Amino acid sequence: MTTTLVLGAARSGKSAHAQRLLADRPAVTYVATGPQPDPDQDPDWAQRVARHRADRPQRWTTVETRELTRALMRARTPVLVDCLGTWVTRSVDQVGGWEDPDRAREHLADLVDHLVVAWRHLPVDAVAVSNEVGWGVVPESPAGRLFRDLLGAVNARIAAASDQVHLVVAGRVLQLDDTPVVPAAGRW
């Protein structure tokens, strides 16, 4: 089976590309890692989720969860995970890690160890989408810097465990070299 990590910036086309990679499959399990939208509290998030839902083929099954490893282990059809960035956010939220970065790093390192094992042993093709957030300015807030660093480490670990890595920039897809520079058990 083939695993592919699709990276890109906001509105780069990464989700559309990921969906195209599995478009010909009769069934796909779409693992949505973000929180359920509440239009009253965050109308922008609700609109984003609605747009993603509308873009998915009707024949795909959606699993909305933060239990990503468990969802992968249960998969019996090709899987599309969208996205690792929201999964990281929810995982840090789960342990109050924004105020305790060491706790966040420890918690996420453990989760990613399990995720990498599941990713490597999937019995089906899988595509994961993630944000590439490390190319801009250094975030002003400690939480922003923590998120950037954690997601960068997660992306490197999943990339090292993937058969293919695609980078989507301005709607164009680049297939990245298959020589990882970060070891499978990178620093947090």
Active-site residues, by number, are 52
DSSP one-letter code for 29: E
- Residue 9 CA to chain centroid, in angstroms? 12
96's tokens: 């109050």
Sequence-distant (≥ 6) Cβ neighbours of residue 51 within 8 angstroms: none
Q: Please list the residues that pair with 173 across neighbouring strands.
A: 168
Residue 27 CB coordination number (10 Å): 13
Integer Cα distance of 151 and 103 in angstroms = 15
168 forms beta bridges with 8, 173
| 3-state SS assignment for residue 92 | helix
Beta-strand (E) ranges in 53-155? 61-64, 79-82, 126-131
Which run of H or E residues covers position 146?
Answer: helix 142-161
